[in-house]
Structure 1
Amino acid sequence: MPWDRIVAFLRRLISPMPSAQFTITLVAAVLVTLALIAKRRGWLHGPRGWLWTGLGLSVGGIIIATLAFRIGDQPPAGTGREVILAPFKGLWHAAGPHATPDASANFYGNIALYVPLGVVTVWLLHSQLVKRVALAWLLAAALSTSIELTQSTMNRVADINDVILNSSGAALGACLGGAVLIAMRRTKGGAPAQQSTSLV
């Protein structure tokens, strides 16, 4: 099916952009349903249960923040949407002291939004820490790409730089989570950081 037909179908399905209340309600309903299933199957017991809960809340929060609200995300007047495929375009300026408040909020917000996802992911996985960081980055990149593709069918700005910032935030969170693991192991006199052990 050609991309234009897919876009047309998705626009009929989800456009005009659903309200924030609708998006929040839908995501909350999905999270509650998954939580009830997980509880019924006994997946939420112990520390790993809290980590899975944190992962669900992180992903749900990301979806709500990116699809229910438009912070620094206004397409040019007279256009229905905008797709930016130039990597690193305007990033250095947005990170600098002369950036507009909207540009700074978009830059740092896109990074900070995915930090919790990276932390929780690196604590859940069972592998070497380097692999955990890489997998957290890949997970964030896949989630961010999916969200940007969804935004490309709406009256939104779909930007490759958002994927770069989001995945960088997850990698940063994974590194912070890995640092906590290393500190815990050294405090307890446990195994070296490169062993295939997890937080719990």
Structure 2
Amino acid sequence: MGPCETFHMSACRAPRRLTSRRRVALLAAGTAVAALTLSACGDGASGGSAQTRFVQGKNGVDTVKKDQRQPAPELSGESTTGKKLDVADYKGKVVILNVWGSWCGPCIAEAPNFSKVANETKDKGVQFLGINTRDSEKSQATSFEEEHKVPYPSLFDPTGRLMLRFPKGSLNPQSIPSTIAIDRHGKIAARSIGPLAEDDLRKMVEPLIAEK
């Protein structure tokens, strides 16, 4: 089962009569407007930027060498339960950041894997976090978290603004679900596009636990 939705606007064709208006809006308002006009695409995921120096793993996890990693962007806001949440507060830990939505079939399929690995690695310096997106109400997200016993918090990002903060050429999230691994120094170390099996999730986490 492939990803629910991609984040590249270029992959989705808008009606011809809106093209000029959209271009003007994007030029005038920049990234903020782009965040609000993200639109749903079909299943599938796009490849990385030509500037991204990543190695594509056989298990679908892309990784970056330690000396070539880019800093993760500022990712903060309100959680699905209304609390303040800032990814930077977990610097010094390995952070596994999962982009998900309660409406997303593959997100439902991978949820038990994330809950299990999160619980098993929390005493090894690993912090799982989520970015909930495209849910219009927090109650939709919290119902998902309760049903699937998600043991970690998620940022509430209904319009997808946080995904656009990732630097160009980095291993940025490009679909729902996507998973980003951030090393202990706050740098983007790995990415998976699409749902992750338990073994593949472990293969993403364990090398970063071993890093000094």
Regarding TM over 0.5, the answer is no
Higher helix content, 1 or 2: 1
TM-score when normalising by structure 2: 0.24
Higher strand content, 1 or 2: 2
TM-score when normalising by structure 1: 0.25
Flag the structure with larger Rg: 1
User: Using CA pairs below 8 Å that are at least 6 residues apart, which structure has the higher relative contact order?
Assistant: 2
